[in-house]
Structure 1
């Protein structure tokens, strides 16, 4: 049975940590993938800092981050002893999260890779595609032009930005994934909004990491022609940051960004798919209530309950390092 990592699992994680699968690329590209270190940090801090590691003894482990207030978790890393261990490890993880009040598990996997097939067999559904771009360094002499209405993000903008996001992102993606990572202020180094006629039409967030930086850009269709200037302003924010690669991910529903990214020197790195598994399901049960002249049961819906079993239905170099090395 799957359980949280403890000292008995040191050898398992040490043995499998270099043969696993990255399932959250921004986290890995910006901070690296160090499974044993993350497992020890989570264990020593009682899960209050870093990732949570769940172990299927002798067979594999997963690492994830949770958003308890949003009933959502993000799978970041998975490693198994054999391909046959994927399904029991994923099923065990889903059941464990369901018992602990997490309703959705979000994962990202390279298109065409081994992981997608295993995830779909475990009941994960495809919700979005995205292209990740990389820029080794901003172009020399980058010109940052004036853009009327562009200003720093303020706390008072929170609900306007949220409404802006809701209007742009497909409903199914919003319901499954919640607020996109780029719209979480505690993750930003800096953020800008483009406001015209008292309406926000673009949002740019900059995130710094130990190994790389990221730009998150959301554009209203009427702001597509400002994409190049907005990217230039984002790169200018990183002008004094440590010299590290810069990444930008573009969902397929975000038209207008690809050309602007290539124009300033970004190159496609890989294409990934975002998949989601719901850990709860609505159950319909008959309510046997006697009604004059009616002898058939009436169906009513009951609250969602955890699922404890399910039916079976691009290589990128990520920095890794063993703990203590």
Structure 2
């Protein structure tokens, strides 16, 4: 309960809420960039219904304020066995409902934690009214992301370089590339160890210098590039990859450029790409890493001490090593003579 908000009741989603879902279907804020760009933005009514199924491992919560305002519906999910959950959507995403967002987040965090999740991720547009609501709910920005949209016309030409499907032999090189180029905050929020490497790799002089992950949907294709700065002519390398998307079927192609890969935007400009949106990638952890001192037993420390040298070594302890060195030298000279 909070001043000016009144009594709030939280409960699981049920089929009676379909009326509210349909009424505010055009006010859905999708907090999953992959879902939004491959399934449509705003999310269609039937797309939302699909993610209400139990087998999707999703948690949908409804908040009912007592001041006559419409109910607030939100959803989070745990997918692919990951340790961090993903916020899926919130509706209605209007400024008047911002005060209810922290209560909704707390309920979703509780449900994700009960299923073994260690945190919650969200991708929110900068101008969205949910941005401040998420910050007040304990979310912190771990990276910025700019989405570029590419059309088909500037992609004519062969491009430069060959992209190859990832194999098991490439896994170590891809993980090394990820660790070298990705900040620690991002590595903690998006651990590569929890994802199957099913993208494409680009080699330059026998070394893997780029990796591309693609997500396909009926409304678009979303690409996540990871390029080393040593890649020569990155615009041509990108064009070579895009030329391989033979089954795009006229769908728009989006490229997500993280803030630590901002130099790639020059290549996207050369391909006549247009900036589509800018997002804040946010995370809230359910656990806190702490360090605690571990004391060793006193007896073990006393028994493992090395004897102190208070004087010179006895003569009998020095003769044997000197003799062994002399004999070794003599044998070596005899061998070469």
**Normalising TM by the smaller chain, what interval?**
0.7 to 0.9
**Does residue 188 of structure 2 align to residue 175 of structure 1?**
yes
Higher relative contact order (CA 8 A, sep 6+): 1
Structure 2: state its 5+ residue gaps: 1-8, 66-70, 299-337
1:132 aligns to 2:147 (yes or no): yes
CA spacing shift, 1:35–1:241, aligned 2, 3 Å: closer
RMSD of aligned residue pairs (Cα, Å): 3.0
Query: In 2, distance between residues paired with 1:251 and 1:34?
Result: 24
Q: Distance in 1 between matches of 2:34 and 2:83?
A: 21
What pairs with 1:219-234 in structure 2 (closer than 5 Å)?
219-223=227-231, 225-234=232-241
- 1:13-162 aligned within 5 A: 13-32=21-40, 33-34=42-43, 36-43=45-52, 45-46=53-54, 48-49=55-56, 51-57=58-64, 59-67=71-79, 69-80=81-92, 82-139=97-154, 142-147=156-161, 150-162=163-175
Q: Which residue of 1 aligns with 2:4?
A: none
Q: Shift of residue 30 of structure 1?
A: 1.2
Runs ≥4 in structure 1, deviation > 4 angstroms?
Answer: 183-186, 282-287
The question of whether the paired residues in 2 share the 8 Å contact of 1:60 and 1:85 is answered with yes
Name 2:219's counterpart in structure 1. 211
| Structure with greater helix percent | 2
- Note if contact 2:220-2:252 (Cα within 8 Å) is conserved in structure 1: yes
Consecutive unaligned residues of structure 1, counting only runs of 5 or more, are: 292-325
Tell whether the 8 Å contact from 2:143 to 2:281 is kept in structure 1 after alignment.
Answer: yes
Give 1:194 deviation, angstroms: 2.0
TM-score for both structures, normalised by structure 2: 0.72
Deviation at 1:180, TM superposition (A): 9.8
Q: Kindly tell me the number of residue pairs found equivalent between the two proteins.
A: 278
**Could you tell me which of 4, 14, 17 is aligned with 1:9?**
17
Shift of 1:83: 2.9
Distance change >3 Å, CA 233–CA 285, structure 1 → 2: closer
Shift in Å, 1:52 = 4.3
Larger radius of gyration: 2
Higher strand proportion? 1
Residue 222 of structure 1: CA displacement?
1.1
Aligned to 1:276: 283
Secondary structure of 1:92's partner? helix
